[in-house]
Structure 1
Amino acid sequence: MQPINRKPSNQGQPHGQKPAKQHLSYSSNIKPLGSVAQGTAQTLFGQKASKQLPKRDPAPSRTSYKLQRLWLTPMVRSMAKAAIPTLGLLAIGFYLVNNQGLRDHISTRYAETRESIQTRPEFMVDLMKVSGATDRVGDQVRAASQIELPASSFELDLPIIRKRIEALDSVKAASLFLRTGGVLDIVIEQRNPVVIWRNKNGLELLDANGIRAGVSQSRLDYAKLPLIAGEGANADIAQAMSIFAAARPFENRVRGLMRIGTRRWDLVLDRGQIVQLPETEPVAAVERLVAWQSAQQILARDIKTIDLRNPSRPYLRLTPFAMEELRRVRSINLGVETKL
């Protein structure tokens, strides 16, 4: 007898020869694993059978090929990029033109949306600040701006407002800024008047360049400013200011300058005295008058006109009362001489 579970020996077989296959017998309900169907095996192991798709031909179809070739033509590409969008916009515009109700609805919605955005608190201007100007000019700037506060910053046309402000005679330049907190800051570069010009239109304030810086209703409103008068007096403000500066030793008697024939000046003093200045070098003539006044008090005498137009020979014109006194004195002197 041979023991159970022991492999049969290879005795009796030639060396190097494989043993003959043993015919195994299986049960009727057990099959070898290789004979199990693939789908059944994948089902047993929890996998789903994959469907094998047919291979796709990479070559395009005739229709696709023709469409691609058509798209590459310049005319078709131009139509697709320009003509079709243009036709679409025209169609939309034509529809809107012929639909009054839709247009009214769009306009109403747009106005409501715009109003709701513009009237938000962060876009409102509640205060106007004017800097760089006097109180009088500041009031003129506020009136010229024509702004009713509070107002939305979207409704303020700053360039237009700046032009209105710079149209004022007293404003040389203006800058507008919208500050945080709803403040409109207006920075003014003001024209500083240096003289008052009396002309046929009234009293005008002029700056150092002869540009009008405002008007005055009364001479007393600007009593500290010197006065000039006559046609063309505004053309040479620098020379006028030099004459006023040279006449400073007796400035309390100076009433103003009169332009004569747009060529020269007459210095007008109180008591009706007039100093006629030359056309050239009028400042030097005033300086000679100052020296004359310091030496002989010429302006304290009964003299109506001092003609300095000829530097080498000044002329004096006496007042009517002084002329009568001079005649009387001369007649007395002549009578005394006759008696002698």
Structure 2
Amino acid sequence: MPAAVRGGSRVQANPRAKAPASPRGKRAASAKPAPPPGRGGAPGPGVSPKTVLIAAASVVALALVATLATGGRGERLVQGIATGVDARFAQAGFRLKKVHVEGASPLATADIVRAAGVYADQPLVGLNLEDVRLRVESVGWVKDVRVVRLLPDTLVLAVHERRQLAVWQRAGKTSVIDDHGQVIPEADPGRFAALPLVVGEGADVAAPAILPILSQRPRLMQLTDALVRVDDRRWDLRLRDGSLIQLPSVGEEQALMQLEQLDQRSHILTLGFDRIDLRNPELVAVRPRQAELDGRPAAAGA
């Protein structure tokens, strides 16, 4: 199974098509006189998108003044004008063509673009960026996002992705959690086999404290199969060979330092054992494997 792929990449996604753009009529063979100013219609050949932008901004400013002067009737007027302005911008070429997702892993990008709720050829100027931000931040992968509109045709989603910390198992169910112990609903645990496994009630909340301490000891981390939460107050480390290391409810780092010193003297992690009890800071208790207690050598890897 593939390991987790984290953020930092820049991914471009094409928004899904929803409504085809209106076909533009072909220029007539015989030239017609241009309509006089102020009668509406699409911008002529000599009118640039920048000119449309400035003119529309002026119209919106006047509409806001009308709102303040006339109350509710002016508000309806503004809404109607805004719709017309957005359509005019769309005619001038301000339509959504590209969506850039920055800072998100490939696994998260599809969910982010889907949640944004935008579509190809959507009028870009009237797009409510706050609504887009709220929709994207509802995705479990996302910690926060900044939404930027780049005229004439691009939307940028600059994402701060939640860091995947561990796979959490409890009551027969597994979930991926972030570095604050929060579940990422969209993350498939089967695709995060490289993450540590934490087991039991409360393991999600306690994992952000213990895992950084354990990660400072790569040798022990490599030998550990799972961290098991006991009574939601302390940890047992279950090793890949079936051995067990019992940690205290407080002072886990000091206990692990004792274990390191013991391993330096006796190579206990290599020789194998049944259980090491580190719950008493004054005494490290080691229980050999049953085969050794019986006077027989333990089988390799048992």
Cα displacement (A) at 1:281: 0.3
Counterpart of 1:159 in structure 2 is 130
Counterpart-to-counterpart distance in 2, 1:235 and 1:112: 48
Q: What residue is the counterpart of 2:260 in the other structure?
A: 290
Aligned to 2:221, which of 232, 248, 251?
A: 251
1:269-296 per-position Cα deviation (integer Å, ceiling 9, x unaligned): 1111110001110111111111111211
Q: Output the CA distance in 2 between the equivalents of 1:292 and 1:255.
A: 21
Instruction: Determine if contact 1:206/1:213 at 8 Å carries over to the other structure.
Output: yes
Q: 1:115 to 1:292 in 2, by over 3 A?
A: closer
Worse overlay, 294-303 or 157-166: 294-303
Q: Residue 153 of structure 2 aligns with which residue?
A: 182
Residues 218 and 205 (structure 1 numbering): CA distance in 2 closer, same or farther, change over 3 Å? closer
What percent identity do the matched residue pairs reach? 23
Residue 180 of structure 2 aligns to a residue whose secondary structure is coil
1:127 to 80, 98, 111: 98
AA of the residue aligned to 1:225: L
Q: Deviations over 1:163-204 (max 9, x none)?
A: 111011111111111112211111111112232222347333
Mapped partners of 1:111, 1:157: distance in 2: 12
- Amino acid corresponding to residue 131 of structure 2 in structure 1: I
Aligned to 2:62: none
Choose the corresponding residue for 2:201, options 213, 231, 244: 231
Question: Which AA in structure 2 matches 1:129?
Answer: H
Give the structure with the higher percent helix: 1
The answer as to 2:203 corresponding to 1:203 is no
Contact 1:126 1:182 in 2 (8 A): yes
Residues 192 and 110 (structure 1 numbering): CA distance in 2 closer, same or farther, change over 3 Å? closer
Q: How far is 1:250 from its partner?
A: 3.1
Deviating more after overlay: 134-143 vs 194-203: 194-203
Does structure 2 conserve the Cα–Cα contact (< 8 Å) formed by 1:203 and 1:216?
no
After superposition, the CA RMSD in angstroms is: 3.0
Q: 1:112 & 1:256 partners in 2: Cα distance?
A: 58
Secondary structure of the 1:325 match is coil
AA partner of residue 148 (structure 1): Y
**Is the 2:175–2:189 contact (alpha carbons within 8 Å) kept by the matching residues of 1?**
no
TM-aligned CA distance change 1:114 to 1:254, over 3 Å: same
Residue 6 of structure 1: aligned partner: none
| Cα 1:110/1:179, change in 2 over 3 Å | closer
Q: 1:309 aligns with which of 279, 284, 297?
A: 279
Q: Distance in 2 between matches of 1:251 and 1:112?
A: 59
**In 1, Cα distance between the equivalents of 2:138 and 2:172?**
19
Gaps of 5+ in 2: 1-69, 74-79, 297-302
Query: Distance between the aligned counterparts of 1:261 and 1:234, measured in 2?
Result: 13
Q: TM-score, normalised by structure 1?
A: 0.57
Separation in structure 2 between the aligned mates of residue 230 and residue 248 of structure 1, nearest angstrom: 23
> Which of 1 and 2 has higher RCO (CA within 8 Å, sep 6+)?
2
Deviates most, 223-232 or 136-145: 223-232
Which whole-Å deviations, capped at 9, do the CAs of 1:202-247 have from their partners, x for residues lacking one?
Answer: 333333322334554345x334332222111122334212431353
Q: CA deviation at 1:151?
A: 0.7
Amino acid at match of 2:106: D
Q: How does 1:25-44 map to 2 (within 5 A)?
A: none
Q: How much has 1:158 moved relative to structure 2?
A: 2.2
Partner of 1:146: 117
If the length of structure 2 is used for normalisation, what is the TM-score?
0.63
Instruction: Give the CA deviation at 1:153.
Output: 2.3
